[in-house]
Amino acid sequence: MKTDLRKILSISGESGLFLYIQQAKNGAIVESLATGKRMCSGLSAKMSSMADIAIYTDEGEAKLADIFSKMKESLGDAAAPGKKADAKELVAFFEKVLPTYDRDRFYVSHMRKVVEWYNIIKEKASLDFMTDEEMEGEQD
């Protein structure tokens, strides 16, 4: 089953990733990908959809789905370096996967989040993502 990155959320103040379940009167009901537990995330929480996140490159921005696909090509079935990996290891990894990343705006802290998200999605969902056309067809 393909993963719809529009429904995978990062929520400020919470660790890990969440699956959007439905709108609630006072926020959104989400389910932790790691634990499967559901919670209501309040209206004041900053939620970012994985589909809306991009990485700065020398040519502009690269969507996270494209970065994840490049990571999958590079890694095969292996996991990405852990979020606690050495900074030099992370930089070397991203120089291989995305050689044009903007070194002034894409920091090691961002790299740590991206590899963490990649590993969570690899383990708990699928690295086969829905295309824009498939997402549009699902809305109809």
The pLDDT, as a whole number, for residue 135 is 67
The pLDDT, as a whole number, for residue 139 is 60
pTM of the model: 0.89
Domain presence at residue 90 = yes
Q: What CATH number has the domain bearing residue 101?
A: 1.10.10.1650
Contacts (Cβ under 8 Å, ≥6 apart) of 92 = none
In the numeric block, which tokens belong to residue 65? 């789905």
List the beta bridge partners of residue 30: 20, 39
Whether pLDDT at 134 is above 80: no
Average pLDDT score over residue span 85-101: 96
Domain count, the chain: 1
User: 40-62 pLDDT, tens per residue?
Assistant: 998 889 999 999 999 999 999 99
Average pLDDT score over residue span 108-124: 95
User: 72-81 pLDDT, tens per residue?
Assistant: 999 999 999 9
Domain presence at residue 120 = yes
- Domain encompassing residue 98: 57-124
